Structures are given as structure tokens and as C-alpha cells.
Amino acid sequence: MYTRRIFPVKGIIKWTRRHLFLFFILATIPVILFEIVGLKWLHVPWLPLGVLGTAVAFLVSFKNNASYDRLWEARKIWGGVVNTSRSWTIQVKDYITNQYAKHPISESELHKIHKELVHRHVAWLTALRYQLRKDKPWEMHLKSTKSNKEFRESHYLVCEDTIPIEDVIKDYISDAEYEELFAKGNQASQILGIQSRRLKELRAGGFIDDFRHMEMKNILVEFYTLQGKSERIKNFPYPRQYATMNYIFVWLFILMLPYGIMEEFESIGKDVIRDLAMHQSRTNWGHLIQEFIAKHFVWFSIPFSALLSWVFHTMEAIGENTENPFEGGPNDVPITDLSRSIEIDIRQLIDDTDIPQPYEWKNDIVM
């Protein structure tokens, strides 16, 4: 997915509003026990808590960097798919001719061959994106996958979730190829195999010479490489031992934070009272208000504690939601939109007709 406004303030607060409310509750409970119940011993020294916070910050940074690397690599792979698709189409258009044909055919028949190969490539794009959108067993247990599903159910719709691949791909391949394709496992790989077989037939008919045939085969090999790189990211998740322990450490810090920051605010209040005691005009209303605030200054630890907890948890959640760039989240790689853009581009290159329209934005999100 791709959003026009990446993580706007309103959107990110709405995205994390439940946890933000929880953090206020977690920060309020210790203050009530400390200030009202009178459990003054209920605090954690700031020094060990600060060390823990520093360690958690390093772990969150490590996870976010690794997750972003996965996202950026996925985007580079699909940038390669875009460029190689154009190269394939140009070769189909310029290399497959009557120049060396044993039995030359008409221009309209040549155009049908060009259209066949380009449409089959669109079928490969379709099969690949459907494979990348499938939920893996480990993804079904991730909170990021669950939150993304909840978000897209209410804000947008991923066509791979609702339209079967059989209904989409049948317009780009023949009936015989359709039967062959779904009789086997990896549809994307099978389509490239059919493309290779078709090139061999065209080579036998003299429509492609040896050099051009080799060049076009190299393009198919590049498609296999790009597909394999995409599958590597999809089929190998971010190591769960890192992600799980990072999640636990973040929550340990969040739970302990109010007990450490509370004492610090209590100390600030005592310092203010000490300074106020040095002034003589104790009947001044401003003085009395300041003294009242200072005595209850510990309550100001609640918003600060909730804010710090929100920052740490949100950074952890961003890394969690970034590690699977093909699952269909609002900030994942927009492979559906890229596939449609490629289709429009390459079909226009061969002067095809009935070219589909680009996907429309919905709630500032495109698939």
C-alpha cells in the first residue's frame, strides 16, 4: 500500500488511540497508590530504569532498521519488475518479426503474438502479487497482520482478498494454459515456463534468431530472479526471537516507567515548596496556588509517563507493521497498483486496446 500522507498526526493518533488510553490508565494507578493511598515506598529508582530504557531504545532501533531494510528491498525488487517488464515488451515488439521467419505471417498475426506474450506477462504479474498477498501461517499470529486486516476492512479493500485469482487471470491466457496453470502449484513460475516454451516455438519458426532468443531468455531468467527475491522476503519472516523479546522488553519498560518517573516529579514538587518557603508573602493568592500545585506535582507525571510510553510503543509497532511489506498494510509496497501501472504501460507500448484504468485512491490509500 501507499498513502499520500505517510502517518499524518491525526492518523497515527487514531491508529494508537487504544494504547494511548491504556497508557494513561497505567500511569494513573501508581500515582493514586502513591499520593492518595500513601504508599510512598512504591517507586523504582530512575538510574536502573534509565539503563533499561536505553537498552530498549537500541533494540527498537535495531528492529526498525531491519524492518525498513526489508521494506526498501521489496520496493527495489518491484522497481526492477517495472523496468524489466518494459524491457521485455520492447524486445517482444522489436525482436519477434518476419525477418528470419520460415513462413512469414501478416502484421496483424505478428501483433497477436506480441499481444499474447505481453498478456501472459500480465498474468505473471497477477499470479505473483496474489502469491505475495497470501497469509503465511506465522503472519496469522502477528498483531500487525490483525491490525492491518481490521484497518482495511473499515478503510479500503485489497482486491486480492475478495476477487479470486482464477477470475482475474483468465482474461490474459488461453483456456489450455489456464487448465495447465491451476493443475500445478506455483502459478507464477509456471507462467514463466510457458513463456519460455513459447519462445522456443517462435525460435523454431524463425521469428526470433539465436541472439535475440538468448536475450529474451535472459529477461525471463531475470523475472525468475526478481520473483525469487520477492518470495525470499515473503517466505522468511523477521526472526521472531528478536521481535518477541523486543515486544516484551518494551512492555516491561512501559509498566515500570510510571513508578520511576513518579518519584522524579515528587522531588521537583518538594524543590518548588522549598523555594516558596523562602518568600514572605504567603498570603498572596499566586503563592498559594503555586504551593498547591507543588504539593501535588506528582500528578503531572501521568501525561509525561503516558507520552514516553506512547513513543516507545509506537516505534515498536511501526517496526512490527513494516516487517512484512507484501501483506497488504496501508504502508506496504503497493504491488497491486504497480502491477496495474505496468500493465497499462506495456500494453500501450504494443498499441493494445481495452486498456484498464488505474486504481483509484480510497481514503488516501492505494493498493
Instruction: Compute the distance between CA of residue 237 and CA of residue 266 in angstroms, rounded to an integer.
Output: 45
Look at residue 112 in the predicted model and tell me its pLDDT: 95
CA dist 15 → 63, 302, 317, 337 (Å): 20, 21, 10, 24
151: confidence class by pLDDT, cuts 50, 70, 90: low
CA nearest neighbour of 313 among 260, 256, 253, 258: 253
Helical axes 240-277 vs 46-95, angle rounded to 10°: 140
> Hey, which residues does 3 pair with through a beta bridge?
365
Instruction: Compute the distance between CA of residue 337 and CA of residue 163 in angstroms, rounded to an integer.
Output: 15
Number of Cβ within a 10 Å radius of residue 180: 15
Average pLDDT of the segment spanning 51-79: 93
Least reliable range by pLDDT among 30-39, 154-163, 218-227: 154-163
Q: Is the pLDDT of residue 6 over 60?
A: no
Domain borders along the chain are: 2-366
Percent of the chain at pLDDT > 90 equals 53
Residue 363 region by backbone torsions, left for phi larger than 0, else alpha for psi between -120 and 50, else beta: left
Percent of the chain at pLDDT > 70 equals 86
Mean pLDDT of the chain: 86
363: confidence class by pLDDT, cuts 50, 70, 90: low
> Hey, which residues does 362 pair with through a beta bridge?
365
Name every residue whose Cβ is closer than 8 Å to that of residue 62 and which is 6 or more positions away in sequence.
242, 246
Kind plus residue range of the DSSP H or E element containing 70: helix 46-95
Look at residue 81 in the predicted model and tell me its pLDDT: 97
pLDDT digits (tens, 9 = 90+) for 287-330: 667 777 777 778 888 999 999 999 999 999 888 888 889 988 77
Instruction: Compute the distance between CA of residue 337 and CA of residue 171 in angstroms, rounded to an integer.
Output: 18
Largest CA distance in the chain: 111
Instruction: Compute the distance between CA of residue 145 and CA of residue 329 in angstroms, rounded to an integer.
Output: 8
Q: Is the pLDDT of residue 54 over 60?
A: yes
In which residue are the cell numbers 530504557 written?
53
CA nearest neighbour of 335 among 76, 96, 68: 76
CA nearest neighbour of 185 among 134, 220, 113, 237: 134
Q: Is the pLDDT of residue 23 over 70?
A: yes
pLDDT digits (tens, 9 = 90+) for 83-139: 999 999 999 999 999 988 888 999 999 999 999 999 999 999 999 999 999 887 777
